[in-house]
Chain A
Amino acid sequence: MATYTERQAGSRLADFIGEHAQVLSIALFFVLCMLFFGAMTTTFLTSGNLLNVVRQAAPILIVAVAMTLVITTAGIDLSVGSMVALINALAAIVMASGLDWTLTLPLMLVAGALIGGIQGWFIAYQGIPAFIVTLAGLSILRGFALYLTEGYSIPIRDAAGFFWLGRGEVLGFPVPALIAILVAVLGFVVMLRTQYGRQVIAVGSNMEAARRVGMPAKRVLASVYVVSGVASAVAGMLIAARLGSGSSNAAQGFELQVIAAVVLGGTSLMGGKASMLGTVLGTMTIAVIGNGLILMHISPFFTQIVTGTIILVAIWMNTRLFDRQWRFGRRKSA
């Protein structure tokens, strides 16, 4: 029988752990990785190296925050790597043609939003699966980048302000890392504290319910691809600013790293379930593993094997160890 009887309130700790199981597991994993590499190498835990890790992780983190929104709607954006390469190349071409970097910057953001918007239109309004649309995007955008650059790397000259974005420091802290942290905080606030975030979660959780309560479900669905387009544009420019050139070969395999980071952080591919904090931790875990293995003088080719294995193990840990009902104190169901 299921009447409204008074229940003893269960353990709040159990509720907390139950609801944040995935974030806690990735946090534990992250700490273990830090300790492991800290113990195995003398250089890993130096501030210089750690700052280097965040600098390198910055583009991934920025796009991963946007990808968290996309995956929360039960979608996927496979085109982010190609988008990064295209914007990366396009920015260099535009600047080489004489446009000032202060104008190039907003222009590229608009370009990213536009391309993301086109993909979002196909997905939300034409009902084509996101996987298909962005798979096509992956091919088309990379193709455009190659076509525009003819495969060459295009140098960027005389744009000190632009380079500062990729190489500069504020109080000893790398600028790209600051931008990434800013984006992550913004993502966190948007996801948990704004109506838009609530709409994204609702659309991913139950699109028909979202529509019935009057949310602009299709517009929300399309908008997350605009967000990921803009984020990819930011990442593309940060990479261009760090390397001082634009190349169609930038960000190879980038989309897989981003998706891995988001999934590792506990955002469900089935939609509705999101964790920005998890995404940050997931990104940093992947970055730390990549960096740590290099410091341990393990073949860089091995990194991919380890990263893949760790994703599998982490997800397995999530499902087997953390994602279940926890009991504390009294031995009865909480």
Chain B
Amino acid sequence: MRTAPSAPEEERGASPLSAAPILTLRNIHKTFGSHQALRGVDLDIRPGECLGLIGDNAAGKSTLSKVISGTYIPDEGEITMAGRPVRFATPSEARALNIEMVYQDLALCDHVDVVGNLFLGRELKRGPFLDQKRMLAEAERMLAALEIRIPRLTAKVEKLSGGQRQAIAIARAASFEPKVLLMDEPTSALAVAEVEAVLGLINRVKARGVAVVLVTHRMQDLFRVCDRVAVMYEGTKVAERAIADTNLQELVDLIVGKGGH
């Protein structure tokens, strides 16, 4: 695994308490064939803050989050991380800079067990072999820290329920000291208690200074965890609101495009 470039010292010294964005997106364009998925999006992501990304289906929320995670390469635009321009050619490059993502499709390997999925792509090794004992112990610790309960960690992921699978995907992204944590619909398949657990988790990682980006359709979740909300419409960011200055009705109006048209 690649090591992340050393975090810029001057950044931390210059801005003692956040405010300065850790990740800045400017004029991001992405086109799939004839479909303009993103049409010049600007976005600031700040440490210790949860940014809600909302919008109708196909508004470009997932595409934008995948651009940040390195899954998609933008056609145009700049991304700077802590003041330095970065360019992710692969998700692993973003991951090396501690940008983690929970994908909507979870990106789990069904035929690999729970432990294996948690450590997918960064397996612990002892000599040439996998250190399964240590990975199992670490996995138990990781899941316990997030209050996620899975009965058997050596079970194949295909045997688990949708909620358990989602919990594993979240645990995988949240457990390796992320600086930016992107979550694409992390609560969509979850039951009530699990949603509570995820929201609690978001608040906890936020408190650790992690920048969280939450893509969601569940408006009620926004008011529980987010500090700011960005509204996407047809591949553009149409509005940005501090959560304290807005309400549910305004956000709904912004999403469906009332007032703007």
Contacts and interface: CB of A to CB of B under 8 A. Distances in A.
Interface of A: 1-4, 6-7, 9, 15, 19, 189, 193-195, 198, 201-202, 204-206, 208-215, 272-273
Interface in B125-155: 125, 128-130, 132, 147-149, 151-152, 155
B159 to A, nearest CB: 8
Contacts of B95: 213-214
Contacts of A209: 106-109, 120
B194 A206 contact: no
Interface string B104-129: 00111111100010001111010011
Interface majority SS (helix, strand, loop, mixed), chain B:
loop
Contacts of B108: 206, 209
Contacts, number: 94
B111 A201 contact: yes
Nearest to B107: A209
Nearest to B157: A205
B107 A208 contact: yes
Contact of A195 (B71, B107, B112, B130): B130
B120 A204 contact: no
Nearest to B91: A212
A19 B112 CA distance: 12
Interface in B213-236: none
B149 A193 contact: no
B14 interface: no
Contact of B161 (A2, A205, A210): A2
A206 B108 CA distance: 7
Nearest to B71: A212
B109 A214 contact: no
Given A194-B129, A209-B120, A272 B92 contact: no
B107 A198 contact: no
A204 B192 contact: no
B39 interface: no
B113 to A, nearest CB: 10
Given A4-B149, A195-B130, A272 B111 contact: yes
Interface string B1-31: 1000000000000000000000000000000
A8 B225 CA distance: 34
Contacts of B71: 212
Contacts of A212: 69, 71, 91, 101, 103, 107
A208 B90 CA distance: 11
B257 interface: no
B110 A195 contact: no
Contacts of B69: 212
Given A2-B191, A4-B194, A201 B109 contact: yes
10 contacts: A3-B193, A4-B147, A9-B151, A193-B130, A194-B130, A201-B111, A212-B107, A213-B92, A213-B121, A272-B109
Given A206-B107, A209-B120, A201 B194 contact: no
B103 A3 contact: no
B125 A195 contact: yes
From A198, A201, A273, residue with most partner B Cβ within 10 Å? A198
B40 interface: no
A2 B162 contact: yes
A201 B110 CA distance: 10
Contacts of A4: 147-149, 193-194, 197
From B1, B91, B194, residue with most partner A Cβ within 10 Å? B91
Contacts of B200: none
B109 A3 contact: no
From A3, A202, A214, residue with most partner B Cβ within 10 Å? A214
Nearest to A272: B111
B156 interface: yes
Contacts of B161: 2
Contacts of B149: 4, 6
Contacts of B106: 209
A194 B194 contact: no
Contact of A198 (B1, B130, B151, B192): B130
Nearest to A6: B149
B112 A202 contact: yes
